[in-house]
Structure 1
């Protein structure tokens, strides 16, 4: 029997992919995933890339990649993985993997994967397309609508680098020489480091960093990183860190976390099983400081969070970088909200990962 290995983060698509591949008489012997904390799925082991040589030393089958590898980082990772196989293998790119096994996407949709859901308001989605400033953004929005209906991989844009400060969106020009940065869904401060270094190359210096991160482990990593930065490269900056989420109301919610993934849940029944956290309204907390840049990746709470930022947006007119992929309706409800509350702004959208994941809406104030 032929053997196969699936490379990429474990999720409904990859698990369905296993089932589809095995239906063709090919035995999936393992998943390779550096993120998940799971050890196996339906009896199939999940290993890290550094465990390939130990666990797959005699493997000579098929290797299915589940993500595009157009940029240097991903190309290097693919080469790293393939270099660890000692025997000849047959390699399928992300496009080939899901083209010959497209049934996996439809099965994942049927199982309730909202990133593949066709349950959205197509009329409203089409109506917001013309709110975007450039043809590239409008094309991305149109392809998102078509992909949701057809699950045709040729419609998916290749991921772009420089998430939150892309090269072809006028983010940098709209940020002042000394800027104040609000990081919502800060994780471990990775976006702070990227933005700090990127903007410093253009003569921009961080004044104040305000970060919200509700998940306990992530917040601990954030605090640890900030303490180190305060002793080294960020001695003169001011910091405010809150272990909290953001919304348009004060509430308690629960968090499901796995590896680098988190999901915020507001159903009361989930409180006993998962970590608890609370949300705050930023308009009530942030005063007497101009906010210049807001990054928002809050696991589906983006619209409530924006509603809790209306005063800040109106008074400071910051650049906004908002995740647009956690819920299907985000693709039109968030642009609709911004169009109503962000006067004299230009809107752009860019895709920074696979299957429209890490899609970000950039709202850039005119003449700032």
Structure 2
């Protein structure tokens, strides 16, 4: 892996020039202006620009924050359309490319606009960390177990640096495959699974599909609403222990924000609940064989609270590494300090910036 130089290809120059012209026209021209997508990223642009409306194929609503939602077929040919679909940017680009109007994805817009708009969540500070710890990133790149991991790593870093979704061309939305890769060598019987950040129970159902004769499942979900839904979905499933506590590096009360799939331990915000946090080492005594962890940026604290368990039993780990700008570097540093012989893999399961998982597999599972 090498940090990109300053030289630009003709194609890159042309894309940059187009993006700059689009941004200037979107900011200053009198052309009709629309945003594809109704989300916080779209709103951050609409705070500065008096747009004509929104486009959204997946809603029955007729307006969004005082502006109409219109069919894409009604957009005039001379319009400017900003695609603010940051989780599926390739799909959004494909949706608009057959129309005559000019369009630009949100990533390129964020890179080149003069407006103070919402930056991509979790990326702030990444470039500085990459430059400060370039050797550590290179060591990790070289440490990955397979070429697919190295390519994934390089493409994701290039995407974060350039905001160019062309670097994501090889990635697709495949969340239904997330966490369960062949190199884990999961067995059909005897596995003990810890689903940390269970949300809706679907990952546990996937685990059962792969390992039908499992020994036990430890299911962690601190959101009361999510836990109720999970218990309905997992009703009748054998040998599941439900844990309503948050996992951390200490035991005690913590503030918690309930927000569906983004529910998380939080230090600020409105409407926070107080829940109990515990250390994994105190709660689970039997050896686990596979731990999955997706807890919205609290992975480090949870890993610290599971240090003794990881050192003793060396379970497979699947840890989300996209919630904090330095996760690519600091999560493997932490895990490998517990057990340096882990084989490390990286996979990405979305077109956009979310759903990057780092895997740690102990040797000898073949």
What TM-score results when the alignment is normalised by the length of structure 1?
0.73
Match of 2:289 in 1: 292
1:240 alignment partner in structure 2: 241
Quote the residue 1:277 is aligned against: 275
When residues 319 and 111 of structure 1 are mapped into structure 2, their CA distance, relative to the original with a 3 A threshold, is closer
The within-5 A match list for 1:22-33 is 22=49, 27-29=52-54, 31=56
Are 2:74 and 1:60 aligned?
yes
Q: CA deviation at 1:243?
A: 1.1
Contact 1:120 1:329 (8 Å CA) reproduced: no
Gaps of 5+ in 1: 46-54, 83-87
Using the TM superposition, give the Cα deviation of residue 350 of structure 1 relative to its aligned residue in structure 2, in angstroms: 0.7
Q: Are the counterparts in 1 of residues 297 and 323 from structure 2 also a CA contact under 8 Å? A: yes
Which residue of structure 2 aligns with residue 214 of structure 1? Answer: 222
Q: Please list, as runs of the form range in 1=range in 2, the aligned pairs for 1:163-242 lying within 5 A after superposition.
A: 163-166=178-181, 169-171=182-184, 173-175=185-187, 177-197=189-209, 199-200=210-211, 204-227=212-235, 230=236, 234=237, 237-242=238-243
State how 1:1-368 maps to structure 2 within 5 Å.
Answer: 2=32, 4-7=34-37, 10-12=39-41, 14-16=42-44, 18=46, 22=49, 27-29=52-54, 31=56, 40-41=64-65, 43-44=66-67, 56=70, 60-61=74-75, 64=83, 66=85, 67-68=87-88, 97-98=105-106, 101-103=109-111, 113-115=121-123, 117-122=125-130, 123=133, 124-156=136-168, 157-159=170-172, 161=174, 162-166=177-181, 169-171=182-184, 173-175=185-187, 177-197=189-209, 199-200=210-211, 204-227=212-235, 230=236, 234=237, 237-267=238-268, 270=269, 273-287=271-285, 289-368=286-365
Instruction: Report how many aligned residue pairs link the two structures.
Output: 318
Check 1:196–1:59 CA distance in 2 against 1; reply closer, same or farther (3 A cut): same
Relative to 1, partners in 2 of residues 1:259 and 1:174: Cα closer, same or farther, differing over 3 Å?
closer
Check conservation: 1:319, 1:362, Cα contact below 8 A: yes
What is the distance in 1 between the residues matched to 2:82 and 2:347? 29
> Could you list the per-position Cα deviations for residues 325-354 of structure 1 after superposition, in whole angstroms to 9, with x for gaps in the alignment?
110111110011122212432111111123
CA distance in 1 between partners of 2:205 and 2:102 (Å): 34
Q: CA separation of 1:99/1:150 partners in 2, compared to 1, >3 Å: closer, same or farther?
A: closer
C-alpha displacement at 1:59, in angstroms? 5.6
**TM-score, normalised via structure 2 length:** 0.74
